[in-house]
Amino acid sequence: MTTHDTRPGSTGGADTAGPLHGGPDDEYTPEQLAAMPREDLDRLGARYDGVEVLHVEPGPEPGSALERRYVRQIGAVFALAGLAAFGFVVVYLGSGWFLPDWEWTIDSGTWSTLFTPLLGALMGLSLILVGLGMVLYARKLLPHETAVQDKHDGSHFDRVTTGATLVGGLHNSGLARRKLITRSLAFMGGGLGLMLLLPLGGMIKNPNTGNPLGRTSWAEGVRLLRDDGTPIRPGDQVAGSLETVFPAVPGGNRQADAATMLIRLRPEQVAESDPRAGQADFGYGDYVAYSKICTHAGCPVSLYEQETSRILCPCHQSQFDVTQGAKPVFGPATRSLPQLPLAVDDEGYFVARSDYIEAVGPTYWNRERI
Amino acid sequence: MARTATAPGAPTTRLGKAAHEIDDRLIVAGPLRRTLNKVFPDHWSFLLGEIAMYAFIVLLLSGTYLTFFFDPSMREVTYEGSYAPLRGVEMSAAYDSALDLSFDVRGGLFMRQVHHWAALLFVAAIIVHLLRIFFTGAFRRPRETNWLIGVTLMVLALLEGATGYTLPDDLLSGTGLRIISAIILAIPVLGTWAHFAVFGGDFPGELIIGRFYIVHVLLIPAILLALIAVHLLILVKQKHTQFPGPGRTEHNVVGNRLFPTFAAKAGGLFFIVFGVIAALGGLVQINPIWLWGPYNPAQVSAASQPDWYIMFLDGSTRLFPAWDINLPGNYTIPALFWPTLVLPGILFTLLALYPMIERKLTGDTASHHLLQRPRDVPVRTSLGAMALTFYLLLIISGGNDVLADKFSISLNAMTWVGRLGLIVLPPLAYAFTYRVCLGLQKHDREVLEHGIETGVIRRLPHGEFIEVHQPLGPVDEHGHGQLAYGGAPVPKRMNQIGGARRAIRGFFTPIEEPAQVELEQQREERGVASAEARELTGSGRPSEGGKPQEPRD
């Protein structure tokens, strides 16, 4: 064996293609193939692909009543599909032109309510009919053939020769012997990987800087405002009612962790009230204020059932008892809703005495316990 | 086709010449023939994965359309569109553009609903496809790789769905996002850091919609597309599995060639899937975001539920007891961590590793291309039933407040039913399924040994009544069948072995001559008519019949 190519072409000799492509092209001359009918050619090709057609059940006889019937059926299905498609076009284009307007307004008629359903019905009908037509065609008019294809597991020959090529290449590279190169490659790979990953570091922010998770906008003297921005006096709420309040800071009613429930307890509730240790004076008279953000997954706890003094979170059904310092009494929540210390300012409006004394919202790893 | 004898086999038609020109340049005739000749087995359950793929195509098409109008930004704007009840309301640009899509883009609402329905169907088809693969043992060697890719595809589909659910920034999706935020915060040690990396700060920040958007429209779809391609390439390379049946072995595939039968049926299925999604998208309202209003951290609706495929996690979150783990030094592992991250982590890991686990336990390392009937592998089937019970109970618990409301059940009772049910019901499902599998197996053997019950009662000369049984094959001297069970369905009714005459074709009026059909039936070698034509012997039932047939369940 030599590595020097002496074939014609490389040395300036005649450059001719080899004899066809080998394999089947050697076994079947163009003349032989030209003499074969189409069915045989089909079977021949299939055999080369490992496929044997075992059995063909021909479709309905051409010209028979059965065939005419199937052709009529399938033709009708495709025609209907086209009709529905054109119907879609008419509804889509015609609305607002020769049909009523499609746009919904508070006083618009039925057409705008029908527009989307009509689009769906027509497109759905059209596409389903196309699919139905194709399936019917395959089932009713095409010959049913049963074909068998061989399935091969991997070839031993391929494995051995490919392995030899791979191992040969690796061996020739000498990487196994040249330790210095493998080591420097490993070093390089580590460095390169880190280098390419590091720009993602732009996403990292320190969650402990300024304790954003533990703070809200509430602070000493910040008024409690309703969603519409009005302040609240102790006489404003009836006993047993709940009002969602926000800190009187710009955008306070859109902040994710500031929403607070101001609840006026009924006399019976006050009587059985059992606030958390050290928080007995957080309320103001018969008023208490708790964070609205669930300590479980952060949903706003919203459903207050005053007969049972329970607040229910609609997301995961944690229940908190407002007479017991909003302690969780059922469901997956583990911690009481934080309580906002209340006071009343010179003008007689509710204010906070300070921020919440613990983090509001869901629990996290280094959340301080009180 | 007539040929002129210039060069033998040279194309004469214009189409033929064009094909010749193409093959001269691209040399595709060989690979194309191999593709056209590829044999696909035929069974309805093999179409489930196809349905998932077609739903994915619809998702790509409709999703691309939506991006032309959607603005993934959390910039505050005032709504001025045509939906009067929200006019003048402050909202994010994302919600504003989603409303415009629904009200001010011609056909936009239709496309949005098509996209949503396609997503629901996509995940559903994936899961049903997975169940088919699991219960028939199609994941066994050599298909473990494709099983792993499939499980990855499913997890990615869930993430894709969850990110898409968040984008419109309405009250419902914002509530979902808030829970996602809490879940990330719940990761021990790294939670707050991970949250600030993902959200760019405290919840909600101003970045998250834009980030989820690019994940939803580029990153995950690109990975999905690539993995689906690999999934299909491996399928083509390994060839499809098939159920046992006549002529079917571990070393062949029996079915239809790709062209034209399989292509016509698969193409038809694509159009049907597309059509069903389009019909749902137009006719069945889904996620009417204008009713929810813009996201507001202080508001929530009762019965806030995720899309169905996330319900199992919502359920686990509702059921998990209030168990914070308080560590020394003021550190906490939040209770939320277990049902939302650990549980799906365990579930998906077990699922992904199942082929390896089963291989280890059974010691079966052989290659399998023939599928198993679930009844023949009672342990696996029962494990599957157990897992399915667990999963369904989680889904039901994800809507336990709605059930409690609609059926006037105590909400707390529903929670306890879920908690206890998760422990009690799966083992019961295991035992029940195992028993059913054994029963079905025994019945198959019984029919093979004694034949099909014909319903014909005979009185013997000494007065005893017996039911005549139709043997399925040759019998020994005691009248017991000699056919062995081959893993294929055993016919159990006379009609399945040709016990009835073929119906005369025609809907309003017959389009065949009944007498002609009768003659044709008598010429055939099976069925009642031919038996009657031969002679009335024995029970008057066909004496020839059913080897195990093609699966038809």
Q: How far is A146 from chain B (nearest CA, A)?
A: 6
**Nearest C-alpha neighbor of A305 from the set B247, B302, B387:** B302
Residues of A in contact with B193 (CB under 8 A): 204, 206-207
Chain A residues 330-369 with a CB less than 8 Å from chain B: 330-335, 361-369
Count how many residues are written for chain A. Answer: 370
Lowest mean pLDDT among B28-32, B65-69, B525-529: B525-529
The one-letter amino acid code at A305 reads: E
Give the whole-angstrom CA distance, residue B200 versus residue B195.
8
Residue A304: its pLDDT value, please? 93
Burial A110-130 (b: 16+ CB within 10 A, else e): ebbebbbbbbbbbbbbbbbbb
DSSP B352-417: HHHHHHHHHHH---S---B---GGGSHHHHHHHHHHHHHHHHHHHHHTHHHHHHHTT--HHHHHHH
Q: What element of type H or E holds A180? A: helix A179-197
Mark yes or no for CB contact B317/A332 under 8 Å. yes
Give the whole-angstrom CA distance, residue B227 versus residue B153.
7
Quick one: pLDDT band at residue B61, thresholds 50, 70, 90? very high
* Mean pLDDT, rounded, for B500-529: 74
Angle at B253 between CA B251 and CA B257, to 5 degrees: 145
Mark yes or no for CB contact A131/B38 under 8 Å. no
Q: What element of type H or E holds B455? A: strand B452-459
Position B342 in a domain: no
Q: Which of A133, A142, A149 sits opposite B252 (nearest CB)?
A: A149
List, in order, residues 6 or more apart from B239 with CB less than 8 Å away: A149, A151, B39, B253, B369
In tens, the pLDDT along A277-301 reads 999 999 999 999 999 999 999 999 9
Residue B499: its pLDDT value, please? 77
* Mean pLDDT, rounded, for A112-140: 96
Q: Is residue B59 scored above 60 in pLDDT?
A: yes
In tens, the pLDDT along B7-43 reads 677 888 999 999 999 999 999 999 999 999 999 999 9
In tens, the pLDDT along B318-369 reads 999 999 999 998 899 999 999 999 999 999 999 999 999 999 999 999 999 9
Comparing alpha-carbon positions, the chain A residue that sits nearest to B241 is: A151
List, in order, residues 6 or more apart from B141 with CB less than 8 Å away: B355, B359, B365, B366, B367, B368
Chain B residues 210-249 with a CB less than 8 Å from chain A: 239, 247
Q: Enter the ipTM.
A: 0.92
The one-letter amino acid code at B207 reads: L
Lowest mean pLDDT among A132-141, A228-237, B505-514: B505-514
Instruction: Count chain A–chain B contacts defined by CB atoms under 8 A.
Output: 320
Q: Is residue B534 scored above 60 in pLDDT?
A: no
In tens, the pLDDT along B131-161 reads 999 999 999 999 999 999 999 999 999 999 9
Quick one: pLDDT band at residue A77, thresholds 50, 70, 90? very high
**Nearest C-alpha neighbor of A304 from the set A271, A280, A337:** A337
The C-alpha R_g of chain A, in whole angstroms, comes to 40
Mark yes or no for CB contact B281/A149 under 8 Å. no
Domain-by-domain residue ranges, chain A? Answer: 1-205, 224-352
Interface mutation target, options A106, A365, A366, A370, chain B, most CBs of B under 10 Å? A365
Mark yes or no for CB contact B110/A120 under 8 Å. yes
Comparing alpha-carbon positions, the chain A residue that sits nearest to B294 is: A254
Position B128 in a domain: yes
Q: Which structural domain, as residue segments, surrounds residue B179? A: 38-294
- CATH code of the domain made up of A224-352: 2.102.10.10
Q: How far is A213 from chain B (nearest CA, A)?
A: 7
Position B423 in a domain: no
Residue B4: its pLDDT value, please? 46
Q: Which of B272, B303, B334 sits opposite A132 (nearest CB)?
A: B272
Mark yes or no for CB contact A317/B3 under 8 Å. no
Residues of A in contact with B37 (CB under 8 A): 45-46, 49, 51, 149
Residues of A in contact with B254 (CB under 8 A): 54, 146-148
Q: Is residue A93 scored above 80 in pLDDT?
A: yes
Q: Calculate the average pLDDT of chain A.
A: 91
Mark yes or no for CB contact A135/B268 under 8 Å. yes
Residue B104: its pLDDT value, please? 93
Position B98 in a domain: yes
pTM score:
0.92
Q: How far is A327 from chain B (nearest CA, A)?
A: 12
In tens, the pLDDT along B197-232 reads 999 999 999 999 999 999 999 999 999 999 999 999
Chain A residues 233-252 with a CB less than 8 Å from chain B: 244, 246
Quick one: pLDDT band at residue B6, thresholds 50, 70, 90? low
In tens, the pLDDT along B414-429 reads 999 999 999 999 999 9
Interface check for B369 against chain A (CB to CB < 8 A): the answer is yes
More confident residue, A335 or B9: A335
In tens, the pLDDT along A52-74 reads 999 899 989 899 888 998 999 99
Residue B476: its pLDDT value, please? 87
Q: Which of A125, A131, A203 sits opposite B268 (nearest CB)?
A: A131
Give the whole-angstrom CA distance, residue A256 versus residue A254.
6
Q: Is residue B127 scored above 60 in pLDDT?
A: yes
Position B338 in a domain: no
Mark yes or no for CB contact B278/A127 under 8 Å. yes
Interface check for A82 against chain B (CB to CB < 8 A): the answer is no
Pairing of strands A224-225, B325-327: unpaired
Number of domains forming the structure of chain B:
1
Q: How far is A365 from chain B (nearest CA, A)?
A: 5
- The phi, psi pair for B51, rounded to 5°, reads -60, -45
Quick one: pLDDT band at residue B543, thresholds 50, 70, 90? very low
Q: Calculate the average pLDDT of chain B.
A: 91
* CATH classification at residue B161: 1.20.810.10
Q: What element of type H or E holds B282? A: helix B263-283
Residue B53: left (phi > 0), alpha (psi -120 to 50), or beta?
Answer: alpha
In tens, the pLDDT along A28-37 reads 888 889 999 9
Residue B359: its pLDDT value, please? 96
Interface check for A86 against chain B (CB to CB < 8 A): the answer is no
- Would you give the DSSP letter of residue A150? E
Position B245 in a domain: yes
Residue B508: its pLDDT value, please? 83
In tens, the pLDDT along B240-251 reads 999 999 899 999
Give the whole-angstrom CA distance, residue A296 versus residue A334.
7
